[in-house]
């Protein structure tokens, strides 16, 4: 075939490979898992359609999602606006939205699609599928090109990536070649082996010197592309909250994408399989951010302490964790403060101001009101002398006989003045509404 995409040529080379029944495994199929960093799942009984697609893409020097989930390709590369031979086709599988199938498009009709794919009747074959199962058609992009996967968060994700990348580059520093570092020569956190793989070059003694010079002079654009395509996107950073993405990206750079996934799963107590899927994401969303960040940081500290070179690099590694979790926590606090401050309309402001002057969380019992007691005393002095005889109480006669008419007049005037004063004072300090309270009087 001429003019076919390079990943499709790689797929045809595996045509006819089939699972082996029993305990044996087809080494050609298990190699798909190993090439994507999933050696522990390298069995031909494991669903391997996504492993097949990923291996074919990476063999042709195109990035993959490095995931074993078919649906991970639903947002991969760029959207294919129409049917194109070689497009990555993602299909549904049953009613579970987490399950699917993925392969390369070879042909189509009004109601059918023909895919070249793996794990089709347990083999690499060409098979027809109902068109109504189609979830997405995607087109791969070259390394260093546009985004491998479309970020659902848009420009916010781009901004966060730049912030997280700035942090990583600050931590990683410039060129180093420490003989105790198992990664070997490194510049801006990118190892010689990583650069060789990115450029599709097999590292050898003959080209080491040339690649080493390229590593020392690597451009900022290539650095950004490597970090985005090799770490940010494969680690699913856009699928988690910003503070988690910040620490997770740093971990992916330092521990590897699969290693970081395991650390995140430990932090949220998900199944630790190195694959960030729906279960892990659900647990991430459910956990309090501050607790998740501390648990993630603790998981990284434990990982560092278990490494044989901790004696040499341990202090710097732990300082890196402390700095990263501190900055991630600052992001979390900023998000929290932004969620609390939302603009109010004039009507909302007026309602709020009114409520502060007319409502109270703790209403006052009427018996605590000086206003009411003052009014009662005034009423008693002014009214009782008049209604006393009606109810059989000759208040004036008694007082006249005991204290004299002048003393009664003085007491009445004084009491009236005191009651009026209490009424005025009580009204000026009254800020709480009155509530009814039952009072039982025993006689």
In the chain, the number of structural domains is 3
Q: Are residues 171 and 131 in the same domain?
A: no
| pLDDT value for 97 | 78
Q: Are residues 43 and 76 in the same domain?
A: yes
Axis-axis angle for helices 395-402, 405-429 (nearest 10): 120
Q: Are residues 175 and 31 in the same domain?
A: no
Cα separation of 316 and 41, whole Å?
33
387 falls in which pLDDT band (50, 70, 90)?
low
Phi-psi region of 356 (alpha: psi -120 to 50; beta: other; left: phi over 0): alpha
| pLDDT value for 217 | 92
- Strand, coil or helix: 365: strand
355 within domain boundaries:
no
- What are the tens digits of pLDDT across the range 44-74? 677 899 999 999 999 888 999 988 899 999 8
The 8-class DSSP code of residue 122 comes to T
Question: What is the b/e burial string over 155-176, where b = at least 16 CB atoms within 10 angstroms of the residue's CB?
Answer: eebeebbeebbebbbebbeeee
Global confidence as pTM: 0.47
Cα separation of 89 and 113, whole Å?
9
235 within domain boundaries:
yes
Largest CA distance in the chain: 131
Mean pLDDT of 192-215: 86
Residue 291, pLDDT above cutoff 50: yes
10 within domain boundaries:
yes
Q: Are residues 184 and 58 in the same domain?
A: no
Q: Are residues 191 and 299 in the same domain?
A: yes
Q: Are residues 171 and 282 in the same domain?
A: yes
Q: Are residues 134 and 159 in the same domain?
A: no
Q: Are residues 179 and 327 in the same domain?
A: yes
119 falls in which pLDDT band (50, 70, 90)?
very high
Q: Are residues 164 and 34 in the same domain?
A: no
Q: Are residues 118 and 174 in the same domain?
A: no
347 within domain boundaries:
no
Mean pLDDT of 306-316: 88
Q: Are residues 265 and 217 in the same domain?
A: yes
Residue 1, pLDDT above cutoff 50: no
Q: Name the least confident of 179-193, 204-218, 223-237.
A: 179-193
Q: What is the 3-state secondary structure (H, E, C) of 14-67?
A: CCCCECCCCCCCCHHHHHHHHHCCCHHHCCCCCCCHHHHHHHHHHHCCCCCCCC
Q: Which of 304, 338, 372 is the last residue of a domain?
A: 338
100 within domain boundaries:
yes
437 falls in which pLDDT band (50, 70, 90)?
low
| pLDDT value for 42 | 75
Tokens of 178: 């420490």
In terms of residue numbers, what domain contains 31? Answer: 6-139
* Average pLDDT score, the chain: 78
- What are the tens digits of pLDDT across the range 146-180? 433 333 333 345 688 899 999 999 998 888 887 77
| pLDDT value for 86 | 92
354 within domain boundaries:
no
| pLDDT value for 359 | 37
| pLDDT value for 380 | 55
| pLDDT value for 144 | 46
CATH number at residue 283: 1.20.141.10
Q: How far is CA 352 from the centre of its chain?
A: 33
Cα separation of 318 and 327, whole Å?
14
Name the residue with higher pLDDT: 427 or 130: 130
- What are the tens digits of pLDDT across the range 24-45? 888 899 999 988 888 877 776 7
256 within domain boundaries:
yes
CATH number at residue 82: 3.90.1720
Q: Name the least confident of 61-70, 294-303, 374-383, 412-421.
A: 374-383
Q: Are residues 370 and 241 in the same domain?
A: no
| pLDDT value for 312 | 85
384 within domain boundaries:
yes
């Amino acid at each position: 075939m001429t003019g076919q995409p390079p990943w499709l040529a790689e797929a045809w080379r595996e045509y006819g490979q089939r699972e082996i029944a029993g305990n044996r495994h087809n080494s050609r199929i298990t190699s798909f898992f190993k090439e994507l960093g999933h050696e522990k799942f390298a069995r031909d009984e494991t669903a391997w359609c996504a492993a097949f697609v990923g291996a074919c893409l990476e063999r042709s020097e195109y990035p993959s999602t490095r995931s074993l989930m078919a649906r991970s390709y639903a947002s991969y590369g760029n959207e294919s606006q129409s049917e194109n031979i070689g497009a990555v086709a993602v299909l549904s599988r049953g009613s579970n939205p987490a399950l699917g199938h993925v392969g390369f498009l070879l042909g189509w009709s009004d109601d059918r699609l023909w895919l070249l794919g793996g794990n089709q009747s347990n083999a690499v074959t060409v098979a027809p599928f109902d068109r109504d199962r189609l979830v997405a058609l995607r087109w791969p992009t070259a390394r260093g090109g546009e985004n491998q996967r479309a970020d659902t968060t848009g420009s916010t994700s781009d901004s966060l990536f730049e912030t997280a990348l700035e942090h990583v580059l600050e931590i990683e520093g410039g060129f180093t070649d420490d003989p105790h570092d198992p990664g070997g020569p490194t510049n801006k956190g990118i190892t010689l082996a990583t650069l060789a793989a990115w450029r599709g070059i097999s590292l050898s003694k003959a080209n080491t010197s040339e690649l080493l010079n390229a590593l020392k002079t690597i451009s900022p654009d290539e650095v950004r592309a490597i970090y985005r395509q090799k770490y940010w996107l494969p680690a699913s950073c856009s699928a988690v909250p910003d503070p988690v993405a910040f620490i997770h990206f740093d971990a992916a750079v330092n521990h590897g994408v699969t290693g970081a996934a395991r650390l995140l799963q430990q932090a949220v107590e998900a199944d630790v399989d190195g694959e960030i899927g729906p279960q892990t994401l659900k647990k991430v969303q459910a956990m309090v951010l501050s607790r998740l960040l501390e648990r993630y940081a603790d998981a990284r500290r434990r990982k560092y302490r278990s490494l044989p070179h901790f004696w040499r690099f341990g202090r710097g590694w732990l300082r890196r964790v402390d700095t990263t979790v501190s900055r991630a926590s600052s992001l979390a606090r900023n998000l929290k403060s932004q969620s609390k401050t939302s603009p109010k309309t004039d009507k909302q402001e007026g309602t709020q101001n009114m409520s502060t002057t007319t409502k109270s969380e703790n209403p006052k019992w009427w018996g605590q009101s000086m206003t009411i007691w003052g009014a009662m005393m005034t009423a008693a002095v002014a009214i009782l002398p008049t209604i006393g005889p009606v109810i059989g109480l000759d208040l004036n006669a008694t007082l006249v006989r005991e204290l004299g008419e002048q003393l009664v007049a003085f007491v009445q005037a004084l009491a009236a003045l005191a009651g009026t004063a209490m009424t005025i004072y009580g009204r000026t300090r009254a800020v709480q509404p009155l509530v009814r309270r039952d009072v039982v009087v025993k006689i």
